Chain A
């Protein structure tokens, strides 16, 4: 934040050039991300609202069932299951928010002509596209992580409170739940699946939103459907469909992206070496990079629509 890196070739005699030009390269990126959050408040409001709803449901269920379930092991199992379900719901919400955000990201500014204002400022197209890509790839995963961890803590505290009030022991509830390990596994899952594995999906949506003049969603989805139809009719195969399904569901060994089967089970084995050696990961990342590069280039040419 303090490198005077954008030294414009200025005559040192020009007094106006001396003071204000100490601004680091990352500042425009930081402010562009803040700008995105000002514009798209649903990025954090939607997951928070869903978390609130989940907690409300949990509160009702806990009070209702606390007395009924006497067996402590069973009680803990129920809690783990609820935790996983809650995490899955938040992740699904974040995915939907990310998809809709990307569809509008480079289209909205052209539609409302504000692209002329953004382009009148010394922010490069690369910075702009990176700031928009970092919403689904950095901001949303971090937010998801924070919300899930806090939510699980609140759920645990609620259970504890209810148990204490009903006069039952609490120790049995806390022992089978290694909170730190759960958070670590959650973070690993978010980084591998929601960031690295899903990156080409978000990048594709950003590219289409920068390209299409209208009906961004259709342009994003229809070509993909069309390819599948052609493949099916021409060769009677469905490789593309399975590739895309695989892309959405996550790499092998992660069978838990569907809501209801979240990856927070502490016994889950995670194998970074195996993940990093999956060719699909690197192919996907290459596609993501190509899509983003095309989006940057496209933004240079685009004006209001």
Chain B
């Protein structure tokens, strides 16, 4: 069974179209990175998946309709939206107690265990914690919930690099077990690239790229071309070209690795570089269509 299945998902705010017939399928046990520019519809898509916003079209999350069954769905789904959404007045001990009280799949001992590894005091109020500590607290709560789907919407926004790294490390080591599904959006793409199993690009409310990381690695190659081979390389129709320190770096889609190796150093591109290429081409195509 697919964990998330959407067909023709639509959502408009007034005249602004946030989701323009989005199709999406996420299988169980995947870690999906949902990447898109600001205003691409990422958060709207996640909100629809979480039952926070009504939508048109078909959407099933773990077999349920999120809009009509949010509270039941939330037994199996956890999410961290933005950073600081924990109420500022609550004490650490209270929030643990509350989640233990209302959540049938919350393992209190596990949460206490995660918290013990941090410097967070039980008697502190959330407002007294640093931003990084609030993120740690939220993560400790969420990781102690035995959920089937975890949704992270910019979970590390505004955190320093140490906290960000720690966040994804503990997620991978202490939480992910290949039966759970994780969907994450972030602008710090390069930091999550190594943990993803799948990547999706979203732009103007539509999915523009959807592939697994294995597919990504075999399909997309980046070549730092030797100056004498630039013309030959360009003849192979790169999808993107950029200059770094006077050398041309060309990005290819589906060109044989051995063929490229003759032209220069071949490597797997960063998701961020592919993102720039795909979005750049999209913008170009849109302009061409408009002209």
Interface, chain A (partner B; CB < 8 A)? 6, 8, 16, 20-23, 27-28, 30-32, 34-35, 38-39, 109, 112-117, 119-125, 127, 300-301, 303-304
CA distance A109 to B90 in the complex (A): 12
How far, in Å, is B36 (CB) from chain A's closest CB?
20
Interface residues of B in 83-120 (CB under 8 A from A): 84-91, 94, 98-99, 101-107
A215 to B279, CA, bound (A): 42
User: Is residue B81 contacting chain A, with contact meaning CB distance below 8 A?
Assistant: yes
Q: Across the two chains, which residue of chain B brings its CB closest to A108? A: B87
29 contacts between A and B (CB under 8 A): A6-B75, A6-B104, A8-B72, A16-B146, A20-B105, A21-B104, A22-B104, A27-B102, A30-B101, A31-B102, A34-B101, A38-B91, A39-B87, A39-B89, A39-B90, A113-B84, A114-B85, A115-B85, A119-B52, A119-B70, A120-B78, A121-B74, A121-B99, A121-B103, A122-B71, A123-B71, A123-B74, A123-B102, A300-B70
Q: Is A112 within 8 A of B74, CB to CB? A: no
Please indicate the chain B residues that have their CB under 8 angstroms from the CB of A300 in the complex. Answer: 70
Asked if residues B104 and A20 are in contact (CB atoms below 8 Å), the reply is: yes
- Chain A CB within 8 A of B65 CB: no
- Kindly state the separation between the CA atoms of A115 and B50 in the bound complex, as whole angstroms: 13
B28 within 8 A of A: no
Contact flags (1/0) for B59-74 with A, using CB distance below 8 Å? 0000000000011111
**Residues in B2-56 with C-beta less than 8 Å from chain A:** 47, 50-54
Instruction: Verify B76–A8 contact, CB threshold 8 A.
Output: yes
Q: Does B252 contact A (CB under 8 A)?
A: no
User: Chain A residues near B82 (CB, 8 Å)?
Assistant: 113, 116
Interface flag for B79 (CB, 8 Å): yes
Contacts of A303 in B (CB 8 A): 47, 52-53
Given A38-B91, A114-B86, A117-B81, 4 other A-B contacts at CB below 8 A? Answer: A31-B101, A116-B85, A120-B80, A122-B74
Give bound CA distance, A158 to B99, whole Å: 45
Please name all residues of chain A whose beta carbon is closer than 8 Å to the beta carbon of B86 when the two chains form the complex: 114, 117
Residues on the B chain within 8 Å of A124, using CB: 70-71
B54 touches A301 (CB 8 A): yes
Known interface pairs A6-B104, A27-B101. Does A122 touch B88 (Cβ–Cβ under 8 Å)?
A: no
Q: Which residues of chain B in 127-164 are interfacial with respect to chain A, using CB atoms and an 8 Å cutoff?
A: 138, 146
Quick check: B87 and A122 within 8 Å, CB to CB?
Answer: no
Given A112-B87, A117-B85, A122 contacting B102 (CB threshold 8 A):
yes
Shortest distance in angstroms between B191's beta carbon and chain A's nearest beta carbon?
23
Complex CA gap A28/B103 in Å reads 8
State the Cβ distance, B86 to closest chain A Cβ, in Å: 6
A60 to B254, CA, bound (A): 92
Q: Are A38 and B90 closer than 8 Å at their CB atoms?
A: yes
| Chain B positions within 8 Å of A123 at CB level | 71, 74, 102
Which residues of the partner chain A approach B138 to less than 8 Å between Cβ atoms? 117
- Does A23 contact B98, Cβ atoms closer than 8 Å? no
Give the residues in chain A near B51, CB-CB below 8 Å.
119
Q: Which of B252-268 contact A (CB under 8 A)?
A: none
Q: How far is the CB of B14 from chain A (nearest CB, A)?
A: 15
Return chain B residues, CB-CB under 8 Å to A30: 101
Kindly name the residue among A121, A300, A303 whose own CB sees the greatest number of chain B CB atoms within 10 A: A121
**Whole-angstrom CA separation of A20 from B76 in the bound complex:** 12
- Complex: how many Å from CA A191 to CA B82? 44
Question: Which of B47, B72, B85, B107 lies in contact with A122, CB distance below 8 A?
Answer: B72
Q: B71 contacts which chain A residues (CB < 8 A)?
A: 122-125, 127
Query: Which residue of the partner chain B has the closest CB to A32?
Result: B102
Alpha-carbon separation in the docked complex, A123 to B51 (Å): 13
Task: Report the separation of the CA atoms of residues A19 and B94 in the bound assembly, to the nearest whole angstrom.
Answer: 24
Give Cα A106 to B88, complex, Å.
16
Minimum CB–CB distance from B148 to chain A (whole Å) comes to: 9
4 smallest CB-CB distances across A and B, nearest first, come from: A31-B101, A124-B71, A114-B87, A122-B74
User: A120 — nearest CB in chain B belongs to which residue?
Assistant: B79
Q: How far is the CA of A117 from the CA of B85 in the complex (A)?
A: 6
Task: Tell me the nearest residue of chain B to A41, going by C-beta.
Answer: B89
Give Cα distance in the complex from A149 to B107, angstroms: 42
Of the candidates A20, A28, A114, A116, the one whose C-beta lies within 8 Å of that of B102 is A28
| Contact A21 B105, beta carbon cutoff 8 Å | yes
Which B residue's beta carbon lies closest to that of A6?
B104
* Residues on A with beta carbons closer than 8 Å to the beta carbon of B74: 119-123
A135 → chain B, closest Cβ, in Å? Answer: 16
Residue of B nearest to A23 (CB): B104
Q: Closest Cβ of chain B: how far from A7's Cβ, in Å?
A: 10
In angstroms, how far is the closest chain B Cβ from the Cβ of A190?
A: 28
Q: Which residues of A contact B105 (CB under 8 A)?
A: 16, 20-21
